[in-house]
Structure 1
Amino acid sequence: MSRQEELVSLLKEKNLKLSVAESFTGGLISEKIVSVSGASEVFYEGMVCYNAQSKIDRLNVKESTISEKGVVSAETACEMATGLLKTGNCDVAIATTGYSDVNEDDKQIGLCYVAVGFEGKIAVSKNVFDGTRRRIMERASCKALDMAFKIVSGQDGRNVEEGQAEENLADLKKNALKFVIETNNASIV
């Protein structure tokens, strides 16, 4: 059974709805989910917010977050997932942002952040994947599905550090969301 099949089955079992906001993964996570028979019972929506303005307009990511932290940052990924959760239409939110190729910010190719929101917390994973543009997108999509499955099933160990990543995320705590950071292959900036 694929990870997306396991996730859809788990969401059905727990009667949970999922929404996805993708940037550099370009819809791959959504495609993997809808390829599973019966996904319509648990998949509320998937959107591709590829540029900064789309993240601001559709997900209420703050302009200040993008200008101060960057469009590819833990904070942006967190706010993307938060934007989905605040709609009230989903119980689980997945968001991705990253660089799959050469970029204008001259940042590391393969750097990405995956955020998963569930039960009042947002977990953000910083990753660096190598390979072709397509391979990086594929690996990030698989990471997102795996992370969501582990968090919803309780297999994530809950041993990640909790707390504020930055002072500008204090307003997220006011909305009963805790910022949780999980690192993979790198330290949080």
Structure 2
Amino acid sequence: MKTFGISEKDIYSILGDLIKNKYKILFLTYPNNLEVSIVIRYNSNLDSSIINDIIVKVYERLNKYIYAEEEVSIGQRVVDLLNISNRKLSIAETMTGGNISSTLIKQCPKLTNLIKENIVCINDNSLINRLKVSPTILNQYGRVSVEVAYEMAAGLLETSGDLVLVTCGDIDYEDNDKVGKLCYIAVGDTDGIHVYKNVLYGTREQVIDSLTQTAFYYLIKNIKQNDLFFDKTTV
């Protein structure tokens, strides 16, 4: 299974009693940036009820972090869920500079079936003219704010409908991996818009990659929460 947003150390802490089991069931973890792959190995002769009980407990404890049962990238999981839910995504990016759509294209060459629109907003004019962000909001709260992230998503929804994903952060920042970069992610549809605050560390490339992956994670949560037919047996 694949998790996002939880460290390998915290996984071992949460699953400690399950890892120290008497059935010689092995838990192997493979961290990669903000993701961790968890592989559970056991003897094929072990009673299925025992392993099923272990797996259920793992899901109960790590449910909000698990985005896939199998070994799949988080970008591919987004593509899979968009296909299953028959939804089209519209994207507006500032800090990620087009990396979200670029990553999805690598996962699915026929992305036109899944993406309705992608906008890269590099200045205030594009925010105001295309996404209808209020100049008053921009002046009062600044380009990197929860208010602007919300308005970006609302403006995109107004013209693009179905499902929107927004990254809001400063595209012109010092490439210093010791200083945290403030950014916001907005995910929404006609049922509502959610804005998430993030502070990321690393080089410019690392921050863009981490923000892209985090945006995918919140998008997956939105799709799964709003489509009741999704459960851990189907995704």
**TM bracket (short chain):** 0.7 to 0.9
Q: Find the counterpart in structure 2 of residue 52 from structure 1.
A: 124
Structure with more contact order per residue of length (Cα contacts < 8 Å, sep ≥ 6): 1
Whether 2:222 is the aligned partner of 1:120: answer no
Which residue of structure 2 lines up, in the alignment, with residue 169 of structure 1? none
Partner in structure 2 of residue 167 of structure 1: none
Partner of 1:160: none
- Deviation string 1:19-64 (CA, Å, 9 cap, x unpaired) is 1000011000111112222422111111101111110011000001
Q: Distance in 1 between matches of 2:200 and 2:194?
A: 19
Q: How many Å apart are 1:109 and its aligned residue?
A: 4.3
Q: Is residue 74 from structure 1 mapped to residue 143 from structure 2 by the alignment?
A: no
Secondary structure in structure 1 of the residue aligned to 2:195: strand
Contact 1:18-1:92 within 8 A present in 2 as well: yes
Partners of 2:125 and 2:143 lie apart in 1 by: 10
**What is the TM-score when the length of structure 1 is the normalising length?**
0.74
RMSD: 1.8
Matched, 1:93 2:157: no
**Cα distance in structure 2, aligned partners of 1:123 and 1:152:** 12
What is the CA–CA distance in structure 1 between the aligned matches of 2:125 and 2:190, rounded to whole Å? 28
Larger Rg: 2
String of CA shifts for 1:99-152, please: whole Å, max 9, x gaps. 36239xxxx641000100124211111000001111111111111111001111
Q: Which runs of 4+ in 1 moved over 3 A?
A: none
Give 2:174's aligned residue: 102
Bigger shift: residues 22-31 or 34-43: 34-43
1:96 and 1:112 in contact (8 A); partners too: yes
Structure 1 CA distance, aligned partners of 2:161 and 2:82? 11
Aligned residue-pair number:
150
Contact 1:77–1:97 (8 Å) recurs in 2: yes
Alignment match, 1:185 = none
Q: Does 1:134 align with 2:205?
A: yes
2:135 paired residue among 63, 67, 73: 63
Contact 1:118–1:152 (Cα < 8 Å) also in 2: no
- For the 8 Å contact 1:102–1:109, the answer to whether it is kept is no
Which amino acid in the other structure matches residue 53 of structure 1? N
How many angstroms apart in 1 are the aligned matches of 2:124 and 2:73?
A: 32
Q: Deviations over 1:53-107 (max 9, x none)?
A: 11001100000110001100001011111111100x341101111136239xxxx
Which residue type is aligned with residue 168 of structure 2?
A: T
- Alignment partner of 2:224 out of 115, 129, 153: 153
Give 2:118's aligned amino acid.
G
Q: Distance in 2 between matches of 1:92 and 1:59?
A: 15
In structure 2, list runs of 5 or more residues that go unmatched. 1-71, 227-235
SS in 2 for 1:142: helix
